[in-house]
Structure 1
Amino acid sequence: MLLLFLLGSLTIVFYIWQRRTLSFWARHGVKYIRPLPILGCTREFLTARVPFFEQIQKFHEAPGFEKEPFVGVYMTHRPALVIRDLDLIKTVMIKKFQYFNNRALQTDPHNDALGYNNLFFARSPAWRELRTKISPVFTSGKIKQMYPLMVKIGKNLEDSAERLGSGSEVQVKDLCARFTTDLIATIAFGVEANALRDAKSEFFYHNRAIFSLTLSRGIDFAIIFMIPALASLARVKLFSRETTKFIRSSINFVLKERERTGEKRNDLIDILLALKREAAANPEKLSKVVDLDYLVAQAAIFQTAGFETSSSTMTLTLYELAKNEALQDRLRQEIVDFFGDEDHISYERIQEMTYLSQVVNETLRKYPIVGYVERECSQPAEGERFNLEPFHNMELPHGMSIYMSTLAVHRDPQYWPDPEKFDPERFSSSNRENLNMDAYMPFGVGPRNCIGMRLGLLQSKLGLVHILRNHRIHMCDKTIRKIEWAATSPVIASKHDIVLRLEKVSGNNDIGQKLSMK
């Protein structure tokens, strides 16, 4: 009887708590998507039917909310806001950034040093200082200094395509990911990953493992994305134990070698060592930086982000060009016009390739790799507080998560006519007046946008040039006709391998003949 009484009491308390919690948006007069008990509005994500970015897209595109500036949702029991209006997005991400300078995502600050302390997850004011220190690595001048190393990896990519042989059917993501693994390892850490030459490259294995989710890793990511308040209680980690050990030992070795030799490479490792020296000179101000894991955390996130984003951009570009061979021929003609039989792909000339830029921009329009942007509302204890005017008089609670679907905005026909069509002409100079660039956010928006944007674009372009200058890519029997998203991937990725046929080009004149015949 006592047990039944306790169970009954707990059931009643839970019911009342759920009713109260899940009536938040109704009490504030905000239109919302009706939640389910316990699961909130995220049943599809929690049951692994859709990835998180698609769940946010579904919120944005929910029927009945087409004219609403924002939509109330529940991440399990937590109320959150999905903003749809472009002016409100600019207000939150840029104009009123002081209220939204932290990400909603969090990992365990006590047991996940590599996850919690890196630039992506860092919280203000530490984030601002860290970004200021690391930004010099990604200036145009520094990238230009790194460029010869990048070209060397580009030639290795060409050699890999040659070894595969004309007519071979290639898993494109694997090839592109090996290229970006080698490139990031070289320019950021000064080491050779040898992913293009060694099928069992340890760097490549661990990079890929970061995005391969087991059940326990899936639970960790669900908490990081949706219930960050439980991060410490659940002791979630961004990287697995095996990957953490590998990254820690690799970066520690590079740091020690660079200190021992005194070599200067103008790369991320040089910046991290400068931080370490500054911290040693000012221990009362920068004591945290002396900790090895703090330095390793910065290297780890750039290794991860640089590997996945650029390789996915290259893969999806090649997929679209295989489906649209006239576009591929036009791009190959531009490559021939700029470089012909030259051995060296110069930094200045690749930046001048207008059609290559149009193609990559259109890939990132149709496939913005992260797929969404999130922020956490930080209301001050005193002074003016943020509210939703002129759309609503509601003052957002401190700590509320805000989401914006990049994928939905990039595929909204009011901004991008015929959005499912892959059309690089959208970004031509003649169409510039018709573009609303506020609706183009592939690298995020505002002060917390992607710090490596320039580098990511350059390595994607360089990889495409080195593949396409001597090869064509075609669809084959194994090529998927339509991309389905991988439900367990934290970023945009195909559920199925993208397999394309590689064809060696016999000479640069044949493309001109092909185009003239058309």
Structure 2
Amino acid sequence: MLWIFLATIALALFYYFIVKPLKYWTKLGVKQGNPTPLFGDSWGTFWKTQSMADFAQQVYYQVPNVRYSGFYQFSKPILVLKDPELIKQITVKDFDHFVDHMTVIPEEADPLWGKNLFSLTGQRWRDMRATLSPSFTSSKMKFMFSLMADAAHDFVQHFKKKNEKIVTVEMKDTFTRYTNDVIATTAFGVKVDSLENRDNEFYLMGKEATNFSGFFKNLKFLLLMIVPCLYKIFSISMFNKEVSMFFRGLITDTIRTREEKHIVRNDMINLLMEARKGSIHKQNDETTLVDTGFATVKESEVGKAKVQRHLTDEDITAQALIFFFAGFDSVASLMCFMAYELGVSQEIQDRLREEIEVTMRENKGKLTYESLLKMKYMDMVVAETLRKWPGAIAVDRICTKPYTIEPQTPEEQHLSLEKNTVISLPIFAIHRDPKFYPEPEKFDPERFSDENKDKILPCTYLPFGAGPRNCIGSRFAILEIKVLFYHILSNFKIFPVEKTVIPLKLSKTTFNLMSDGGFWFGLERLEK
């Protein structure tokens, strides 16, 4: 009879640890889907039968006609917000209850990840946000513009030197080389040309830092989602030892050289060095210059606060590395999707090129920061790219102190959220919701024309998140994209080739948005 006793114990443990957690939302009166034991709602992404974008939309639509619903990332309960007013309430008005992101890797396991702006929590995040925000103002973008323009010029010259009428390129690889060069010069003060010197160390390290493919890396992320405590127990890090040592050495050497030789360069490292000395100040320049575009997020009062914080070399390295981590791959992906939409919609590409040519004539062939940002159709195209293909499929918030969502419909009841409850903002799904964007699969820059952009409801356009914890680098990313496409389209026509996948199919094997089969397009030199 022992086996009956053991079986009973096993079944009881299975129910308590595997089945019962999947009833969390139901007990709170929140509607949910039909999660499966062990996997929750993540079955398709675990077995690579659906893309992360498809998963996000499945979660969004599995309980229709509600302001919020519950789902499970394996056994972790997450509340997904669908109502724009509720999103605004939680991310803006009641931000003090939802300050933090979900902790990915403990600081003790990987200090370079745990100390960066994205991972910091509470007051430490507030202090670092206020410290970093001065490097992303309009005036700083104007300075960085010339560095970006140089990188874009080198990008175009690389293909022009081939002296071929048509060049076929895989856009993801090509664009990551441009974003690598831009970040190298604007953040690290390093000049590289990754198209000419394809195996430069800076590019190889950046590619390794942002590469999450392969069995063991996928296993690492799976363990993170199922048993996050293992990261702390075994000191599993986000970045491998070689990447960490490279960036630590680069930052330490740069700081030492600048201090010894009194070098001042208006970039992120210099700003953080000034912050360490307590001499940082922020220019109030937000209203004096043209802003980067419709998608640009505004800095909250958190980013405008004055702080006195001692920064170690490791703190500085962590911020520079997350800047690289965020800008290397995600911005390149946005450029790939924009190239795809322009390549399959020649009329949109032609109209944008016409605006570029007008701008060139008005400025006698010289592109300026102000003239680029006054290009309305360019901004419309970028804004629509970010609508249809946002850099983040979803973002999370953690309930940092108990909070109650008051009922607004007869079906709702008071929902009391415990501390550490995870909230999800389903950006991709909201951007594809026909309630907010008619014909959401259509690429239509006219959504963001002067006549139409005011019709977009607040908190239904979230390419860089919402509230004070939005993406600090929105200006940088938008400017970087506009500069490059100005140079590309003034010299080349983007068009599909035999290897181009139309319609685009999203990869089921990557965490972010990526085309299955790559982004292959031709660049046809324009006759001048």
1:482 to 1:211, Cα distance in 2 relative to 1, 3 A? farther
Structure 1 equivalent of residue 251 of structure 2: 251
Q: Is the 8 A contact 2:141 2:476 kept in 1?
A: yes
Pairing of 1:272-421 with structure 2 (within 5 A): 272-278=272-278, 289-290=311-312, 292-340=313-361, 342-379=364-401, 385-390=403-408, 391-421=412-442
- The answer to whether 1:493 aligns with 2:492 is no
- The range that moved more, 295-304 or 187-196, is 187-196
What is the one-letter code of the residue matched to 1:60?
Y
1:235 to 1:49, Cα distance in 2 relative to 1, 3 A? farther
1:119 to 1:271, Cα distance in 2 relative to 1, 3 A? same
User: How far apart, in 2, do the equivalents of 1:206 and 1:4 lie?
Assistant: 56
User: How far apart, in 2, do the equivalents of 1:54 and 1:259 lie?
Assistant: 50
How far apart are 1:52 and its partner, in Å?
Answer: 4.0
User: How far apart, in 2, do the equivalents of 1:375 and 1:149 lie?
Assistant: 34
User: How far apart, in 1, do the equivalents of 2:119 and 2:213 lie?
Assistant: 20
User: How far apart, in 1, do the equivalents of 2:319 and 2:171 lie?
Assistant: 28
User: How far apart, in 1, do the equivalents of 2:505 and 2:248 lie?
Assistant: 35
- The range that moved more, 210-219 or 172-181, is 210-219
Q: Is the 8 A contact 2:87 2:459 kept in 1?
A: no
- The range that moved more, 432-441 or 128-137, is 432-441
Pairing of 1:439-458 with structure 2 (within 5 A): 439-458=460-479
* Equivalent position SS for 2:70: strand
* Equivalent position SS for 1:74: strand
What is the one-letter code of the residue matched to 1:85?
D
1:128 to 1:315, Cα distance in 2 relative to 1, 3 A? same
* Equivalent position SS for 1:474: strand
Pairing of 1:12-161 with structure 2 (within 5 A): 12-62=12-62, 65-161=63-159
- The range that moved more, 436-445 or 134-143, is 436-445
Q: Is the 8 A contact 2:399 2:419 kept in 1?
A: yes
Structure 1 equivalent of residue 180 of structure 2: 181
- The answer to whether 1:476 aligns with 2:494 is no
How far apart are 1:18 and its partner, in Å?
Answer: 3.0
User: How far apart, in 1, do the equivalents of 2:229 and 2:81 lie?
Assistant: 22
Higher helix share: 1
User: How far apart, in 2, do the equivalents of 1:43 and 1:66 lie?
Assistant: 20
Superimposed CA distance per residue, residues 159-194 of structure 1 (whole angstroms, 9 cap, x where no aligned partner): 122134321211112221111110111011110132
User: How far apart, in 2, do the equivalents of 1:366 and 1:462 lie?
Assistant: 21
* Equivalent position SS for 1:429: coil
How far apart are 1:4 and its partner, in Å?
Answer: 8.0
How far apart are 1:206 and its partner, in Å?
Answer: 2.2
Q: Is the 8 A contact 1:81 1:402 kept in 2?
A: yes
* Equivalent position SS for 2:250: helix
- The answer to whether 1:208 aligns with 2:230 is no
1:54 to 1:105, Cα distance in 2 relative to 1, 3 A? farther
What is the one-letter code of the residue matched to 1:377?
C
1:42 to 1:343, Cα distance in 2 relative to 1, 3 A? same
User: How far apart, in 2, do the equivalents of 1:102 and 1:412 lie?
Assistant: 27
What is the one-letter code of the residue matched to 1:322?
G
- The range that moved more, 4-13 or 138-147, is 4-13
What is the one-letter code of the residue matched to 1:133?
T
User: How far apart, in 2, do the equivalents of 1:198 and 1:4 lie?
Assistant: 68
Q: Is the 8 A contact 2:75 2:226 kept in 1?
A: no
Structure 1 equivalent of residue 444 of structure 2: 423
Structure 2 equivalent of residue 282 of structure 1: none
* Percentage identity across paired residues of the two chains: 32
Q: Is the 8 A contact 2:344 2:495 kept in 1?
A: yes
User: How far apart, in 1, do the equivalents of 2:370 and 2:225 lie?
Assistant: 40
Superimposed CA distance per residue, residues 413-453 of structure 1 (whole angstroms, 9 cap, x where no aligned partner): 11111111111111111223433243111111111101011
How far apart are 1:353 and its partner, in Å?
Answer: 0.3
Q: Is the 8 A contact 2:187 2:267 kept in 1?
A: yes
User: How far apart, in 2, do the equivalents of 1:20 and 1:473 lie?
Assistant: 54
User: How far apart, in 2, do the equivalents of 1:229 and 1:394 lie?
Assistant: 28
Structure 1 equivalent of residue 168 of structure 2: 169
How far apart are 1:228 and its partner, in Å?
Answer: 4.5
* Equivalent position SS for 1:439: coil
1:368 to 1:375, Cα distance in 2 relative to 1, 3 A? same
Structure 1 equivalent of residue 295 of structure 2: none
What is the one-letter code of the residue matched to 1:192?
K
- The answer to whether 1:435 aligns with 2:456 is yes
Structure 2 equivalent of residue 516 of structure 1: none
Q: Is the 8 A contact 1:169 1:502 kept in 2?
A: yes
How far apart are 1:223 and its partner, in Å?
Answer: 4.6
Structure 2 equivalent of residue 194 of structure 1: 193
User: How far apart, in 2, do the equivalents of 1:388 and 1:208 lie?
Assistant: 46
1:168 to 1:444, Cα distance in 2 relative to 1, 3 A? same
User: How far apart, in 1, do the equivalents of 2:393 and 2:471 lie?
Assistant: 13
1:156 to 1:4, Cα distance in 2 relative to 1, 3 A? farther
Q: Is the 8 A contact 1:105 1:228 kept in 2?
A: no
* Equivalent position SS for 2:459: helix
TM-score normalised by L of structure 2? 0.88
One of 461, 481, 488 as aligned partner of 2:482: 461
Q: Is the 8 A contact 1:224 1:236 kept in 2?
A: no
1:399 to 1:486, Cα distance in 2 relative to 1, 3 A? same
Superimposed CA distance per residue, residues 396-422 of structure 1 (whole angstroms, 9 cap, x where no aligned partner): 121111112111111111111111111
TM-score normalised by L of structure 1? 0.90
Q: Is the 8 A contact 1:474 1:500 kept in 2?
A: yes
Superimposed CA distance per residue, residues 230-261 of structure 1 (whole angstroms, 9 cap, x where no aligned partner): 54245342223332222222222222222222
User: How far apart, in 1, do the equivalents of 2:378 and 2:160 lie?
Assistant: 22
Q: Is the 8 A contact 1:193 1:202 kept in 2?
A: no
* Equivalent position SS for 1:73: strand
